[in-house]
Amino acid sequence: MEFLTRAVIRVPRSTPSEAVQDLIRAEAAVGHELRRQGHLLRIWRLPGAWANVTLWEARDATELHDLLTRLPLHPYMKIRVTPLAVHPLEADAS
Amino acid sequence: MEFLTRAVIRVPRSTPSEAVQDLIRAEAAVGHELRRQGHLLRIWRLPGAWANVTLWEARDATELHDLLTRLPLHPYMKIRVTPLAVHPLEADAS
Amino acid sequence: MEFLTRAVIRVPRSTPSEAVQDLIRAEAAVGHELRRQGHLLRIWRLPGAWANVTLWEARDATELHDLLTRLPLHPYMKIRVTPLAVHPLEADAS
Amino acid sequence: MEFLTRAVIRVPRSTPSEAVQDLIRAEAAVGHELRRQGHLLRIWRLPGAWANVTLWEARDATELHDLLTRLPLHPYMKIRVTPLAVHPLEADAS
Amino acid sequence: MEFLTRAVIRVPRSTPSEAVQDLIRAEAAVGHELRRQGHLLRIWRLPGAWANVTLWEARDATELHDLLTRLPLHPYMKIRVTPLAVHPLEADAS
Amino acid sequence: MEFLTRAVIRVPRSTPSEAVQDLIRAEAAVGHELRRQGHLLRIWRLPGAWANVTLWEARDATELHDLLTRLPLHPYMKIRVTPLAVHPLEADAS
Amino acid sequence: MEFLTRAVIRVPRSTPSEAVQDLIRAEAAVGHELRRQGHLLRIWRLPGAWANVTLWEARDATELHDLLTRLPLHPYMKIRVTPLAVHPLEADAS
Amino acid sequence: MEFLTRAVIRVPRSTPSEAVQDLIRAEAAVGHELRRQGHLLRIWRLPGAWANVTLWEARDATELHDLLTRLPLHPYMKIRVTPLAVHPLEADAS
Amino acid sequence: MEFLTRAVIRVPRSTPSEAVQDLIRAEAAVGHELRRQGHLLRIWRLPGAWANVTLWEARDATELHDLLTRLPLHPYMKIRVTPLAVHPLEADAS
Amino acid sequence: MEFLTRAVIRVPRSTPSEAVQDLIRAEAAVGHELRRQGHLLRIWRLPGAWANVTLWEARDATELHDLLTRLPLHPYMKIRVTPLAVHPLEADAS
């Protein structure tokens, strides 16, 4: 099933900027991996913020939790999860 | 997977009280049916309100939507859905 | 650019059910048309509610407004709009 | 009576990771103990967060408070409590 | 155990004023009865509003629900319930 | 007149636990004193939290402020104040 | 003591405009009376709304309730009450 | 001084569509007049809603109230007002 | 024109208590000065909090900003500003 | 298209005041540059706060994000973005 998440990221200001850069690089690597696996379907930035909206494919909330906790920035994220049901408009089209 | 819902019910005051009684009887019948099918696992009342908290078992959000819309009182419900992931404390125990 | 909308639909209870069915059919027709035109990219149902999350492609907020007001159910919708920026993860991939 | 709690956990980032692991192990031990005692009936994770939803059996709010403060992670929890009344659907079934 | 409720009352404006007076008289009668029974311990008005804060004694949330639904104005109330635990300051004093 | 307060207490984690114990003892002493003086009429704990609901008797908001600032934990409290009016149900009974 | 209220007024649209004018005239008359009595100290309009902020002098919340319910528009008001304590800056000056 | 308003418009569904069209035409006429007078500086639509954000020039909140109540749709508007102070970036530039 | 502000003050706990006393004395001095100048018309304390409600006279929001930033405690204040329009009840009386 | 932003700025108190002054000077320089480029159309201060409302011209949310992240104070800003559609009143006038 699909889930929509809205994540706001706050790395403590005291984190050395090199460590932040490492985190961002690691996050991108895991992000690409999750896209290849078909779990991370789409991702957008919320303008003006260090925050994103992401569309996920996961078997259930337990797998979604596993995917989200794989993200190196996960400890710095505040995440809101919206479970999504198939809409008849897309069901018709398949 | 399991979902938790919190539903507040508001039938318009203009509904004849007999029609309301019919709705409540029909709701109970469907509720018992959903329990027998293993979809409605637990249900509680919020004290002082016409509202309930319900624990559901459904394949995904699409099936949950189907279950919820089967309820005769569904058109009168305002529902908040929380997707639930397995907690390690219960996973250990299985 | 892309926009995400969350729309909650409330048709007055006094609307004859045939009129509601007509509205739903008309909504589906316009929805299919907007998909063909590449404006309505994805659409999901929020489980348990008459509500949807939709991903739009529009030149700007003015065109988005035009698209949304074409929907037959628009007068009955309460809509929240989120403007979306390209995320580097997708920019890299293109 | 039954209570539903929603707890969000925030251990200060400065806590040494070994101390965090100790807390988590101690929390699991107390959790298992409370399950055996029939106080902690069910527990779920909120996907993407260090947070849980828990179903409790306690004589009253005073006993619930005692149970919650036994948890080693309690000082790091922000908890919302919902008192639950028996729903006629379950009362019928007993 | 004790519960605190905050109830806001809204009788539809179309209710004939005589019917409203009847409701208020019936509410007072039930209120006095619940005080005599030791269930309604204290009650206050929120200034400027048709609303009250009430302190209840009930075995559990199920009994509280029964008490609240006995009130003739209950169908017109929106109620928030707070479960109360014994405070050590009062426990010491007993 | 009577006031209802809801106070949430947060002592900084860096406070030595002995200092916290001293504060709690001092708070209890002042609490007992305020009860004897007829200012602190009732006090309850909110289950699962370091928080309380308290019923006060004070001449006016200025005296209430004086009473609240006498509490040793006051600098660590976030307080919401509700002014209470006499309810006719209690007025009748006097 | 002094209280600050914020009142939003909503007269049902179906009220004949003459009846609304009568209400407004009656409200003004009672308002002038309450000013002369020293209860209504100041009153302001919230720009763009049928709403006001008012500063009251009343013995306690019970008297404030009596004053507010004397207003002919009271049944149409939604009121938020803030109890005010004397500020040292004004206490010094007296 | 300048004010920013955010107004949401809700005309009752029972209003005949011709009356709505008349209101909209009258609103446009007054809007153009207020622009010519230099009171309505800018106006935008919130996409997907019958709502606008407007930038006003008015002597003070009293004049702003007068301007807003001149709008034919004012009785159907819910308005939030933000008072604006000159920003040094623009002060420098003048 | 008049403005109403609601300010909550939070001085960091690490501030030496002598520095806090200096700030409070300086705040009182500036407060008295602003009263003499006819800018600070009234000020009240919110009971139980380090917070105040203040009534200001200022030419516009730009002057109000200048007045507020003159307060020594301003860097520690979180302020909500309400612009006030003249109410007909007071206009009549002048 | 145009966007409206509301930004609240919080520089950590531990920042040396010289560094804060440098940031403010740099912010002003970038602000003037963005005005010259036609991106920053208008800017206002929210009275009493270190916060602003800004009107932007940007191709889309991605460009807006780029503009906002160029601001030296961006890491200290919490920003709310409102996408704006052309209002017929202004469309008519062009």
Q: CB–CB of A61 and D49 under 8 A?
A: no
Per-residue pLDDT, averaged over I72-83, amounts to: 98
Q: What are the chain G neighbours of H14 within 8 Å (beta carbons)?
A: none
CA-wise closest residue to F30 among F75, F72, F74:
F72
To test the contact with chain I by mutation, choose from H60, H69, H89 the residue with the greatest count of I C-beta atoms within 10 A, namely H60
Phi, psi of I46, rounded to the nearest 5 degrees: -85, 120
Q: What is the mean pLDDT of residues C69-93?
A: 94
Q: Does I61 touch chain H (CB under 8 A)?
A: yes
Among residues C69, C61, C88, C77, the alpha carbon closest in space to that of C10 is found at C77
Which residues of chain J, if any, have pLDDT below 50? Answer: none
Q: Is H84's Cβ below 8 Å from some Cβ in G?
A: no
- With a pLDDT cut of 70, the percent of chain D lying above it is 97
- Determine the Cα–Cα distance for residues I27 and I70; give it in Å rounded to an integer: 9
Q: Which residues of B touch E79 (CB under 8 A)?
A: 48-49
- Å from J41 to nearest chain C CA? 18
> How far J75 CA sits from the closest chain I CA (Å)?
19
**Residue I26 contacts G where some CB pair is shorter than 8 Å:** no
Subunits in contact with chain I (3 or more CB pairs closer than 8 Å): F, G, H, J
Judging by DSSP bridges, how do beta strands G2-9 and G77-86 pair with one another? antiparallel
Inter-chain contact I81–J48, Cβ cutoff 8 Å?
yes
Q: Which residues in chain A touch residue J5, judged by CB atoms under 8 angstroms apart?
A: 48
Closest Cα in chain E, distance from residue F7 (Å): 13
pLDDT, greater one: H28 or I93: H28
With 0-12 / 13-18 / 19 or more C-beta atoms within 10 angstroms meaning exposed / middle / buried, residue F14 is exposed
Q: How confident is the model at residue I91 (pLDDT cuts 50, 70, 90)?
A: confident
Say if the Cβ atoms of H83 and I86 lie within 8 Å.
no
Token code pair at residue G4 = 């600050």
CB B62 to CB C47 under 8 A?
Answer: yes
For range H73-86, the mean pLDDT: 98
Per-residue DSSP letter, C47: T
Is residue F12 packed enough to be buried (19+ CB in 10 Å), middle (13-18) or exposed (0-12)? exposed
Interface test with A, best of C33, C36, C41, C42 (most A CBs within 10 A): C42
- Angle ∠(I75,I76,I79) on CA atoms, nearest 5: 90
Q: Is the distance from CB of D37 to CB of D70 less than 8 angstroms?
A: no
Interchain proximity D48–A64, CB inside 8 Å: yes
**Average pLDDT of the residues of chain B:** 96
- What was the pLDDT predicted at C92? 65
Residue of D nearest to A83 (CA): D47
Single-letter amino acid, residue I83: P
Q: Which helix (H) or strand (E) holds F83?
A: strand F77-86
Q: What region does D38 belong to: left with phi over 0, alpha with psi -120 to 50, or beta?
A: left
Q: Given this model, what pLDDT does residue F91 score?
A: 84
Q: Do chains D and H touch (3 or more CB pairs under 8 A)?
A: no
Q: Is the pLDDT of residue E91 over 90?
A: no
SS3 E33: helix
CB spacing of I81 vs J45 below 8 angstroms: no
Give mean pLDDT, residues E14-35: 96
Residue numbers in E near D87 (CB within 8 A):
none
**How far C1 CA lies from chain J's nearest CA (Å)?**
6
Indicate the residue of F13, F45, F48 with minimum beta-carbon distance to D12: F13
Is the pLDDT score of I81 beyond 80? yes
Contact A83 B61 (CB under 8 A): yes
Distances (CA, A) of I19 to D65, F12, H5, I12: 40, 20, 41, 11
pLDDT band per the 50, 70, 90 thresholds, residue B36: very high
pTM listed for this prediction: 0.96
User: Exposed e or buried b for every residue in A45-60, given b needs 16+ CB within 10 A?
Assistant: bbbbbbbbbbbbbbeb
Candidates E43, E82, E89; nearest CB to F43: E89
Helical segments of C12-81, H only: 17-36, 61-69
Cβ contact F79–I49 (<8 Å): yes
**Does residue H64 sit at the I interface (CB-CB below 8 Å)?**
yes
Residues of H within 8 A of I83 (CB-CB) are: 3, 60-61, 64, 81, 83
Q: Which residue has the tokens 């250990």?
A: B92
Asked if E47's CB is within 8 angstroms of G61's CB, the reply is yes
Is J87 close to H2, i.e. CB distance below 8 A? Answer: no
- Please list every residue in chain C whose beta carbon sits closer than 8 Å to the beta carbon of residue B5: 48
Chain D nearest CA to B35, separation (Å):
9
Percent of chain I beyond pLDDT 70?
97
Q: Give the single-character DSSP code of E67.
A: H
Residues of E in contact with G69 (CB under 8 A): 48
| Residue I72: φ, ψ to 5° | -60, -30
* Interchain CB contact of J49 with I (< 8 Å): yes
Is F56 a residue whose pLDDT tops 90? yes
For H86-90, what is the mean pLDDT? 96
Give the CA angle between residues C69, C72, C74 to the nearest 5°. 50
Q: What is the mean pLDDT of residues B36-53?
A: 98
Q: Which of E4, E43, E84 sits opposite F89 (nearest CB)?
A: E43
At residue B61, the pLDDT reads 98
CA distance B8 to B45: 10
Query: Does residue E53 register a pLDDT over 90?
Result: yes
Q: Is D10 on the interface with A (CB under 8 A)?
A: no
Interface confidence, given as ipTM, is 0.94
Cα–Cα–Cα angle for F49, F62, F75, nearest 5°? Answer: 35
Mean pLDDT of I16-42: 97
User: d(Cα G61, Cα G82) in Å, to the nearest integer?
Assistant: 10
| Beta-bridge partners for J40 | J56
Contact H60 I60 (CB under 8 A): yes
| Residue A5 pLDDT class (50, 70, 90 cuts) | very high
Task: Tell me, yes or no, whether chains B and I touch by having 3 or more C-beta pairs under 8 A.
Answer: no
Any I CB within 8 A of H80 CB: no
For chain E, which chains pass the contact test of at least 3 CB pairs under 8 Å?
B, D, F, G
Minimum-distance CB partner of J47 among I7, I61, I77: I61
Neighbors of chain F with 3 or more C-beta pairs under 8 Å: D, E, G, I
Which of I53, I90, I93 faces G84 most closely, judged by CB atoms? I53
**Residue I82 to residue G4, Cβ atoms within 8 A:** no
- Provide mean pLDDT across the span C11-25: 95
Residues of F in contact with E31 (CB under 8 A): 89
Q: What is the pLDDT of residue C91?
A: 84
pLDDT > 70? residue D53:
yes
CB-based contact (8 Å) between E75 and chain F? Answer: no
Mean pLDDT of chain F: 96
- Work out the minimum CA distance from C18 to partner chain A, whole angstroms: 19
Distance, CA of F16 to CA of F22 (rounded, Å): 10
- Does residue J61 sit at the C interface (CB-CB below 8 Å)? yes
Element (H, E) at D22: helix D17-36
- Tell me which chain G residues have a C-beta less than 8 angstroms from the C-beta of H79: 48-49
H34 touches chain G (CB under 8 A): no
Q: What residue in A sits closest to D48 (Cα-Cα)?
A: A65
Q: For an interface test with J, which of H81, H87, H89 has the most J Cβ atoms less than 10 Å from its Cβ? A: H89
pLDDT of residue I3: 98
pLDDT tens, position by position, D56-86: 999 999 999 999 999 999 999 999 999 999 9
What is the average pLDDT across A10-25? 95
SS (H, E, C) A48-91: CCCEEEEEEECCCHHHHHHHHHHCCCHHHEEEEEEEEEECHHHH
3-class DSSP state of F45:
strand
- Mean of all residue pLDDT scores within chain E: 96
Q: How far apart are CA B53 and CA D80, in angstroms?
A: 15
Place of tokens 């909650």: C8
Q: Which pLDDT score is estimated for H30?
A: 98
Q: What are F14-43's pLDDT values in tens digits?
A: 999 999 999 999 999 999 999 999 999 999
State the pLDDT at residue A91: 84
Q: Does B49 touch chain E (CB under 8 A)?
A: yes
Average pLDDT over residues A20-40: 97
Give residues with Cβ within 8 angstroms of J64, minimum separation 6. Answer: A47, A48, C83, C85, J3, J56, J58, J81
In angstroms, the separation between the Cα of residue A60 and the nearest Cα of chain B is 6
